[in-house]
């Protein structure tokens, strides 16, 4: 969990504004949900490992005292609330609780989430997610729309070295079954496979062995999910068809991926996707196509998502189809910073008004107010030391201009405007001063 100083916060806001503008262009509307949810809402949605990373909030006062006095007190006796782990489960609750929402609801949400995780590069206990979701439709257009929106965000930010890896949760389950792994070990296998990019093939084999999967089964699965070199997307899908021929569920999933890739070819994601049968997405609620952003500029995922048709039904009692994609905001910022894609982002005033001690404070405030009405960001130097010290302060905070007011300027209602880089200086009225600053 971190503090953010002005320059860093300016970069964060720039990226958020780019994301908002792009998402709204696709017809997504904003929502926000509380930081705190009932544990009953959160638990059981992320798998065992996810549940362990939930920040619990202890009971308060008398309720906590009573719980601590109870013999053999357990974790569930101490807390019934938690900080949200992601934005998808709160969305499912929100949809279920608001039946008046449109049948096809396109929402975006940009808010912090919390995980009791081990911090690392690009990994924090408090971090922001930027989600887009479409509920109410089973059409693969929904998948194409969220993938296209996310791809357009990255391209607008000047970042083109990325791929959206595509898989299908049902296809992966069929591959696990084809490797001879029992149904009761499916969830554990998914958790291990999800770590392939972090711990490598040997690490996954070791973890599968620890979870009771034989070496032969592990090797069979890894052979099935790893894409041979030289295959394009159509070739990889054909390989998977041949490997799972006769499995109707797998063929259906592959057909959906074929349709999705054809849709993406007409979207902003064209040229930025690849079929990846090893992609697992560790969260337990996915039911259909799944996706994840990868880049050679960053080790790990820059975002991910997929279809989760069963999640909202856990709260509503009837199934509502849904698909979503989340950008890993903190990791994206790290990559943009390392690649120098931010450029110059101003976080301070356009101009600092410097003044002498023979000028009435009201005259200075009047000048500042006039400039601000025109949209100029203005800081008044609050004291009257020597002019050099006031100008040095303006330079130290990155201001481009200073506007100097002495007794004669105050009487004429003008300012001596000086450009701190070129040294150019003009005496202008307030309106012309604003125009020069804004148009320079």
Q: Indicate the residue among 338, 363, 388 that finishes a domain.
A: 338
Long-range (24+ apart) CB contacts under 8 A made by 75-79 are: 76/39, 79/39
Residues 301 and 369 placed together within one structural domain of the fold: no
What's the DSSP call for residue 358? T
Q: Indicate the residue among 338, 363, 383 that finishes a domain.
A: 338
pLDDT at res. 69: 78
Cα–Cα distance measured from residue 413 to residue 397, given in angstroms and rounded to the nearest whole number: 26
CATH number at residue 386: 3.40.50.800
Say if residues 332 and 15 touch (Cβ distance below 8 Å): yes
For the residues 329-351, what does the mean pLDDT come to? Answer: 88
Say if residues 112 and 127 touch (Cβ distance below 8 Å): yes
Residues 400 and 332 placed together within one structural domain of the fold: no
Residues 295 and 207 placed together within one structural domain of the fold: yes
Q: Is residue 28 in some structural domain?
A: yes
Q: Is residue 377 in some structural domain?
A: yes
Q: Is residue 78 in some structural domain?
A: yes
Residues 392 and 289 placed together within one structural domain of the fold: no
Residues 394 and 332 placed together within one structural domain of the fold: no
* pLDDT cut 90: percent of the chain above it: 71
Cα–Cα distance measured from residue 23 to residue 16, given in angstroms and rounded to the nearest whole number: 10
Cα–Cα distance measured from residue 399 to residue 391, given in angstroms and rounded to the nearest whole number: 10
Q: Is residue 346 in some structural domain?
A: no
Residues 387 and 417 placed together within one structural domain of the fold: yes
Total domains in the chain come to: 2
Which parts of 185-321 fold into alpha helices (H)?
A: 186-193, 196-210, 215-225, 233-243, 248-264, 313-316
Name the residue range of residue 73's domain. 6-338
- Report residue 200's pLDDT band, with 50, 70 and 90 as the boundaries: confident
Residues 377 and 317 placed together within one structural domain of the fold: no
Per-residue pLDDT tens over the stretch 115-167: 998 877 767 899 999 999 999 999 999 999 999 999 999 999 999 999 999 99
Residues 324 and 355 placed together within one structural domain of the fold: no
Task: State the number of CA atoms in the 13 A half-sphere of 276 facing the CB.
Answer: 20
For the residues 348-362, what does the mean pLDDT come to? Answer: 96
Residues 194 and 326 placed together within one structural domain of the fold: yes
Say if residues 26 and 145 touch (Cβ distance below 8 Å): yes
pLDDT at res. 224: 92
Supply the mean pLDDT for the chain.
92
- Report residue 256's pLDDT band, with 50, 70 and 90 as the boundaries: very high
pLDDT at res. 321: 95
- Could you tell me which residues come within 8 angstroms of residue 356 by beta carbon, excluding any fewer than 6 positions away? 384, 387, 405, 406, 407
Residues 355 and 334 placed together within one structural domain of the fold: no
Q: Is residue 33 in some structural domain?
A: yes
pLDDT at res. 255: 97
Residues 318 and 360 placed together within one structural domain of the fold: no
Say if residues 55 and 108 touch (Cβ distance below 8 Å): no
CA distances from 169 to 72, 172, 204, 420, 437 (A): 40, 5, 18, 59, 55
Residues 48 and 97 placed together within one structural domain of the fold: yes
Say if residues 186 and 176 touch (Cβ distance below 8 Å): yes
Q: Indicate the residue among 338, 372, 388 that finishes a domain.
A: 338
pLDDT at 398 over 80: yes
pLDDT at res. 101: 94
Q: Is residue 374 in some structural domain?
A: yes
- Report residue 9's pLDDT band, with 50, 70 and 90 as the boundaries: very high
- Identify the top-confidence range among 201-215, 337-351, 426-440: 426-440
Q: State how beta strands 322-328 and 126-135 pair.
A: antiparallel
Cα–Cα distance measured from residue 353 to residue 379, given in angstroms and rounded to the nearest whole number: 6
- Could you tell me which residues come within 8 angstroms of residue 248 by beta carbon, excluding any fewer than 6 positions away? none
How is 149-191 classified by DSSP, letter by letter?
Answer: HHHHHHHHTT----EEEEEEHHHHHHHHHHTT--GGGHHHHHH
Cα–Cα distance measured from residue 393 to residue 381, given in angstroms and rounded to the nearest whole number: 9
Q: Is residue 258 in some structural domain?
A: yes
Q: Is residue 345 in some structural domain?
A: no
Per-residue pLDDT tens over the stretch 18-36: 999 999 999 999 999 999 9
pLDDT at 282 over 80: no
Classify each residue of 122-149 as buried b or exposed e, where b means 16 or more C-beta atoms within 10 Å of its C-beta: bebbebbbbbbbbbbbeebebbbbbbbb
CATH number at residue 312: 3.30.930.10
């Amino acid at each position: 969990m971190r503090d953010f100083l002005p320059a860093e916060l300016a970069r964060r806001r720039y990226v958020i504004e780019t994301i908002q503008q792009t998402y709204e262009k696709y017809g997504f509307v904003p929502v926000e949900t509380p930081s705190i949810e009932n544990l009953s809402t959160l638990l059981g949605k992320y798998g065992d490992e996810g549940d362990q990373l939930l920040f619990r909030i202890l009971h308060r006062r008398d309720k906590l005292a009573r719980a601590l006095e109870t013999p053999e007190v357990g974790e569930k006796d101490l807390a019934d609330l938690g900080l949200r782990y992601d934005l998808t489960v709160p969305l499912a609750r929100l949809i279920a609780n608001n039946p008046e929402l449109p049948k096809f609801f396109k929402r975006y949400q940009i808010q912090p989430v919390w995980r009791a995780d081990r911090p690392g590069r690009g990994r924090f206990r408090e971090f922001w997610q930027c989600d887009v979701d479409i509920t109410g439709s089973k059409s693969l257009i929904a998948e194409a729309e969220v993938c296209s929106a996310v791809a357009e965000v990255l391209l607008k930010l000047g970042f083109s070295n990325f791929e959206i890896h595509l898989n299908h949760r049902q296809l992966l389950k069929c591959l696990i079954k084809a490797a001879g792994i029992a149904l009761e070990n499916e969830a554990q296998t998914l958790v291990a496979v999800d770590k392939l990019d972090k711990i490598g093939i040997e690490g996954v084999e070791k973890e599968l062995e620890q979870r009771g999967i034989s070496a032969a089964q592990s090797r069979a699965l890894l052979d099935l999910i790893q894409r041979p070199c030289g295959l394009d997307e159509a070739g990889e899908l054909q390989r998977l068809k041949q490997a799972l021929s006769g499995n109707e569920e797998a063929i259906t999933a592959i057909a959906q991926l074929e349709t999705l890739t054809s849709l993406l070819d007409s979207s902003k994601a064209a040229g930025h996707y690849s079929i990846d049968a090893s992609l697992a997405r560790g969260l337990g609620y996915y039911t259909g196509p799944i996706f994840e952003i990868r880049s050679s500029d960053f080790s790990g995922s820059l975002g991910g998502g997929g279809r989760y048709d069963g999640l909202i039904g856990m709260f509503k009692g009837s199934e509502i189809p849904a698909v979503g994609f989340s950008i890993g905001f903190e990791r994206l910022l790290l990559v943009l910073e390392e690649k120098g894609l931010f450029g110059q982002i101003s976080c301070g005033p356009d101009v600092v008004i410097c003044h002498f001690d023979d000028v009435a404070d009201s005259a200075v405030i009047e000048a500042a107010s006039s400039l601000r009405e025109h949209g100029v960001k203005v800081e008044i130097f609050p004291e009257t030391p020597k002019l050099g010290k006031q100008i040095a302060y303006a330079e130290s905070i990155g201001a481009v201009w200073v506007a100097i007011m002495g007794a004669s300027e105050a009487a004429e209602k003008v300012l001596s405007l000086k450009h701190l880089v070129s040294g150019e200086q003009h005496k202008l009225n307030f309106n012309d001063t604003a125009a020069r600053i804004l148009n320079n």
